[in-house]
Chains A and B, each alone.
Chain A
Amino acid sequence: MGVFATSPESRRRHRSQQVAFAVLLAMTVLLVLPVLAILGMLVWRGAPALSLEFLFTAPVRGMTAGGIWPAIVGTMWLVGVSLAISAPIGVLAAVYLNEYARDSWVTRVIHLAIVNLAGVPSIVHALFGVGAFVLFFRFGTSILSASLTLAIMTLPVIIASTKEALAAVPMTFREACWNVGASRWQTIWHVVLPNSIAGILTGIILQVSRAAGETAPILFTGAAVFVPFLPQSVNDQCMALSMHLFTISTQVQSVPQSITYGTALVLVLLVVLVNGVSIVIRSRIRRRRKW
């Protein structure tokens, strides 16, 4: 009998391997099921409500009929303005922290602050937004206040994801650049950023869906239950999909279910679309990977 013949030991090992495989597979399926169930239900009950008219008209008759156009526009304003604030600040801060900052107690405090800020519940951000932007800076309840609140909420995550993308560029590349006399900034601009830009963008785009989905931070700072006109500037209040969904499903009586599910479906589709874009970007860069 050779050494590779089956023994009771090897059969036992084979069986425990199969059990582990089955358990892991079951957990994975368990993970996917709720997602599929939610999506399925939304499509099933919400799809009939979807129409061009639903998408592009305002709600009427106390929001029991009509469309959701102002909410879509409002969400776009909020997401756009908040990311216009948090993305540049976050990326620049991450570049500083990862490429320039030396390890000192100051940077350690900053890291700690970022990690903790990322873990703060969104309702706390909301209260901070009310205190700081609405009242103290007197921006009032406006797109500006709400976007600033969302920006503060997304900032730590953007910093963290950007730092991770930067840190994924091998140190040897930087050293090779320094060795030939390139300055730190030249190294960052010509080698580090071009090779981490996809990761950075992915991190930012994922925050789009987070900013679009959150209700609490905009609840008291700029989103309104109903605004009869589309926002003209950042000083206006606006409607938002997440807020609208909350309102029509809990605050208003006798809203047809198709409208509620339709609104939820649009919100989810928007988020899925954005996440899809980030997946495409990521797979593009993997194919183009240069090292």
Chain B
Amino acid sequence: MVVKHAKIAFRDLRVRYGDKTALEDVSLEVAPNEILGIIGPAGSGKTSLLRVLNRTLEQTAGAKVTGDVRIDGEDVYRMRDVSRLRRRIGMVAPLPVGLPMSIYDNVAFAPRMAGVTDRKRLEVIVERCLRQAALWDEVEQRLGDLGTKLSGGQQQRLTIARALSHSPEILCLDEFSIAIDPVTTMRIEEVLKELRKHMTILLVTNLVQQARRLADRTAFLLLGELVEVGPTEEVFGRTPRDRRTFEYVHGHFG
């Protein structure tokens, strides 16, 4: 399927770490407001793909990116202001990272760094993001407590709230449920269904069923190769285009 007016477009993307290839000739387009599931076993290049998008991969010593990455048609690697680019993208890491500051400051951090100083505005942003991340009710009374003292599941939702705090157009989740319980996972999945109305979501997951539940389309990466990308029901159906996809999503290897 060719996406019209792609929100994100990777073309002939290749990522190398030294002489190790992480992604090879990946071409992939993501439509606005869709949830694209990205599945594949460990070491397939899923995380590299996300880090190419917000250009944090450059900070890894020896990493080399070639190819073309565009957001709304704009070449990501020609952008001068990396901070502006990163504010358009919310990033959620596999393990929750509460910054060593209060819950409130965790969420207010990004807007503050972007120059928002007005208290009233910050308060509005913090409440909106914590509500969106389904955490508000649990922390409303203790916004001054350290973010790092929350439970794992709460910290992951705090991380999501922080990722939303700079009003991104794109939300990238990298195996967000790896460290949290199934109930919290379900709550966050509900949150994502709500968020897609406002943004494009890249959902990297090692739980293939999670991609099946949420994604409009699913991409299958294997050892740096984009094996196939298509509508989720097709990828998970009886007749995906590639045999390896069938074997992976039905648990024959992985």
Contacts and interface: CB of A to CB of B under 8 A. Distances in A.
Interface of A: 102-103, 172-173, 175-183, 186, 190-191, 195, 290-291
Contacts of A176: 93, 97, 99, 159, 162
Given A180-B87, A181-B87, A181-B113, A102 B97 contact: no
23 contacts: A103-B61, A172-B93, A173-B100, A175-B97, A176-B99, A176-B159, A177-B99, A177-B109, A179-B86, A179-B163, A180-B110, A180-B163, A180-B166, A181-B84, A182-B113, A183-B83, A183-B113, A191-B99, A191-B100, A191-B101, A195-B100, A290-B100, A290-B148
A203 to B, nearest CB: 20
A260 B73 CA distance: 80
Task: Give the size range of B's interface with the partner.
Answer: 20 to 34
B66 interface: no
A173 B85 CA distance: 19
Given A172-B93, A291-B148, A181 B86 contact: yes
Nearest to A191: B99
A177 to B, nearest CB: 7
B83 A181 contact: yes
B56 interface: yes
Nearest to B83: A181
A172 B90 CA distance: 15
Query: Would you call the interface of chain B mostly helix, strand, loop, or mixed?
Result: mixed
Contacts of B162: 176, 180
In the complex, which of the residues A180, A195, A291 has the most CB atoms of chain B within 10 Å of its own CB atom? A180
Interface string B61-83: 10000000000000000000001
Given A172-B95, A290-B146, A291-B148, A181 B100 contact: no
B194 to A, nearest CB: 21
Interface centre among B54, B85, B86, B97 (most CB of A within 10 A): B97
B165 interface: yes
A175 B86 CA distance: 12
A176 B92 CA distance: 9
A58 to B, nearest CB: 51
